[in-house]
Chains A and B, each alone.
Chain A
């Protein structure tokens, strides 16, 4: 049975972070739900009206309370357990309908805010996205699904930029579905090469609109090899990582990963305690790329390598140089300071 309960002014019915399975209706008095705005940290005071429910979401959803429920003037409440509340809700749909409206409004507002903060460029436009789903199913020879996606595309974007292609593909997909059935037959024209054709045809298209979205999904071979190597490095298998990075660096593939790998070679050498090689590697690299993006880190490894090989004077001059530079990563600055202290201790 729901219980009536009273609270004195300045008491707290529940605290933020509490796990509670009680739902309340305010009968009389004043209760304020206090929380902090997620975005600004500002305090929010939300006064409960008489007859209003509170504590519903966290109790139903079984998650911690999101606010402090503070009693401002002496208050009387009715307390429900979740099963009691459900009982009430089932016999009184009006309550649920009203709450559905409130919740869906909250959800809509949150949803808008979240979408607004998602990286704009990282997501394809719905139009491109829908078209690409069709292409995906074409490549997989899932013709019924391809027909569905292309037809939806043509319904929603009758004069869209992929309109001509979509209607051509929809027709082909339909023919192939009838002729060969799903997952069978030769690849449709334009979709030869099966699942691997993707890299070429799609890559070009992605480059225009959704470069960052597509980029992550179709990792190039050099990227894959690079992350393999990073993974070895993170396990401190430096010798293996060194070989892997060397291969990427020599592959002549994606320039970004060639450069990154070239840089990492030095760190592997350092891990292997081959300090002469570290010095040679980074000195050469800096000469070749004076504007190396990771210049400060390269200088740090040079300094550390000299330090380890006993040339403290050279080491100190490298560390000094880093500390004099602007735009040094906080973490690196700390490492350099630590290395300098170690030098001074010598």
Chain B
């Protein structure tokens, strides 16, 4: 990356392989731009640590912290020896003005986050819990490039608990709703995946439940 970062060396922070940069639930007051090494974003679910993403040099993470000191929503672990630029409220303006490319990058990241949050909000504002769950599948489907648009069948490598999380309902409720879809033959549940028989049927169903 061809950026004028030399002047900002004093904001650089080093981590050793395996170090936690931050962990979930910790209040966050800084975000990071990776300069060297890879960072793994993960979440602890029950008894496993689930990798959400692996970030490369040039990528920004933890950016929600600049909005408010909200608790971190995931762990960030150094996969290699890592060097990051640390942005906080105090140095934010200086760093951004000096690095329009980072500012632009952050702007793009925000447009994506706004879209994602809006999409989640659309799910959560549905009254019908079955529609919420169906809409979660639609949301995931929109974000995964479909290889086969010809048929309505879609495979999701996810679990009832994850679906419940996105729908803002308890894991128990999520399983109950999915079970209902199973009994209607609209969904099949396997150990590692959930199959939606006809995603278009879900789209029609959700649309009929949305306020206009």
Contact = CB atoms under 8 A, between A and B. Distances in A.
- Chain A, interface size: which category? 35 or more
Interface in B104-126: 104, 106-108, 110-115, 117-118, 120-122, 124-125
Nearest to A127: B25
Contact of A144 (B19, B70, B172): B19
A231 B190 contact: yes
A104 B66 contact: yes
A182 B18 contact: yes
Contacts of A91: 100
B106 A110 contact: no
B36 interface: no
Contacts of B182: 230, 233-234
A216 B171 contact: yes
A110 B117 contact: yes
A234 B44 contact: no
Interface string A217-236: 11100000001101101110
B20 A129 contact: no
Contact of A119 (B18, B161, B168, B179): B168
Contacts of B204: none
A9 B67 CA distance: 39
Given A38-B122, A110-B121, A122-B170, A149 B110 contact: no
Interface of B: 18-20, 23-27, 44-47, 49, 64, 66-68, 70-71, 75, 77, 93, 96-97, 100-101, 103-104, 106-108, 110-115, 117-118, 120-122, 124-125, 160-161, 164-165, 168-172, 175, 179-180, 182-184, 187-191, 210-212
A136 interface: yes
Contact of B125 (A39, A148, A218, A331): A39
Interface in A107-162: 107-108, 110-111, 113-114, 117-119, 121-122, 124, 126-127, 129-130, 132-133, 136, 139-140, 144-145, 148-149, 152, 156
A84 B194 CA distance: 43
B208 to A, nearest CB: 13
A144 B75 CA distance: 14
Contacts of A218: 46-47
B188 A234 contact: yes
A152 B26 contact: yes
A342 interface: no
A126 B211 contact: no
Given A103-B110, A212-B172, A227 B47 contact: no
A199 to B, nearest CB: 9
A216 B114 contact: no
A44 interface: no
